[in-house]
Structure 1
């Protein structure tokens, strides 16, 4: 089956629009994680190992979503 040019163009535009939306969401999520990572604070009564565990969790989420270093 051969697709006509208009149908191919519509599919391409649809994919671009979908990708741009998800890229924006991913970028916003990474910004939120980065902010949380940059301004760490320990809660009252929190153990140091719990604090480091939370910090590592944030770093891992950033890496999973495309952030390098």
Structure 2
């Protein structure tokens, strides 16, 4: 989860300017918490993750593999 979090932050950082860095950090942190929710609550976490799927497909893939 940490690697996915860092990778996504890096990708967004390259495309975004310094002005958007704070927003990027906030979104990445939110996605990270979502991944933790998946690990902790399973099915309920998957539903929550589905709401953020458009923001972070990599996190979903990693979480799905971890669950299965």
Q: TM-score, normalised on structure 1?
A: 0.36
Q: Please state which structure has a larger fraction of its residues in helix.
A: 2
